[in-house]
Amino acid sequence: MLSEGIDVRDISFAYRQQEKIINELTCFIKQGMFFAIAGPNGAGKSTFLNLLFGALRPISGSIKLNGREVSSYKSKDFARLIAVVRQQFVPAFGFSVYETVMMARTPFFNVLGFEGENDKYLVNHALELTETAHLKDRELDQISGGERQRVFIARAIAQDTPILVLDEPTSSLDLKHQVAIYDLLKKMQIEQGKTVIIVTHNINLAAQYCDMAMLLSSGSFHIESPEDIYKKNLISTVFGIDGTSLEVEGRRVFIPRGNYTNPVR
């Protein structure tokens, strides 16, 4: 019997009459796992996440969360289990950073529909963790794209769910904040037992943190440990790019090779 987690069985999905973008995909993401998803543009990464949290339904197969079909959850109950950071979110302009993050606590408000002291604590704590507390009184249209991305990560953290699903959460961040966010997510996994599911294009960074990774490409998929991704040369295969896997300070990294890269001097 499988432990608590997300059980994906033989799911397929296609947009309208197009070719299947996901074809008979099976995986099990157990509770407390750091699971990375990578692949070229259009491979189905965001589609897979939308299937996981019920925004889309597979044309075949099943997705169960803790033994129960995802589609059977009421939205409020589901929001108590999974927090989502979307790749293309719609900023709630007109709201302050603090108000935006507090929106994540709505499923937990008291019977009168108001936030409590615990809600306020979780919001302020999430702002501190993402280094956005100094922005709390600013409106979203008054901050940079990278700062806004960290605010939406803070909102997911404030939701305080056992599962975090993040679609390219560091795409607008500088290198320092990319590492800081990965460190934060890994710390939450280790110390709180959170499940972290993250879509990324930075496979070298993700491989330093994830327990398992899934590479998607043209309807096919590979689920491997970070070590095996490099050993089997899957990055070249999936992304269709020439390159070399090297060991640096005990870790494997992939160095892509273009046609006009500078020679080593």
The DSSP line for the chain is: ---SEEEEEEEEE-STTSPPSEEEEEEEEETT-EEEEE-STTSSHHHHHHHHTTSS--SEEEEEETTEEGGGS-HHHHHTTEEEE-SS----TTSBHHHHHHGGGGGG--TTS---HHHHHHHHHHHHHTT-GGGTTSBGGGS-HHHHHHHHHHHHHHH--SEEEEESTTTTS-HHHHHHHHHHHHHHHHHH--EEEEE-S-HHHHHTT-SEEEEEETBEEEEE-HHHHHHTTHHHHHHT--EEEEEETTEEEEEE--SSPPPP-
Asked whether residue 247 carries a pLDDT value surpassing 90, the answer given is: no
pLDDT of 19 reads 87
Proportion of the chain above pLDDT 90, given as a percent = 73
Asked whether residue 1 carries a pLDDT value surpassing 50, the answer given is: no
Asked whether residue 141 carries a pLDDT value surpassing 60, the answer given is: yes
Asked whether residue 2 carries a pLDDT value surpassing 60, the answer given is: no
**Which pTM does this prediction carry?**
0.92
Query: What residues contact 112, with CB distance under 8 A and at least 6 apart?
Result: none
Q: pLDDT digit string (tens) for 182-225?
A: 999 999 999 999 999 999 999 999 999 999 999 999 888 999 99
Average pLDDT, the chain: 91
Higher confidence at residue 120 or residue 219? Answer: 120
Q: What domains are there in the chain, each with its CATH number?
A: 5-234 (3.40.50.300)
Average pLDDT over residues 86-106: 83
Asked whether residue 90 carries a pLDDT value surpassing 90, the answer given is: no
Query: What residues contact 142, with CB distance under 8 A and at least 6 apart?
Result: none
pLDDT band at 153 (very low <50, low <70, confident <90, very high): very high
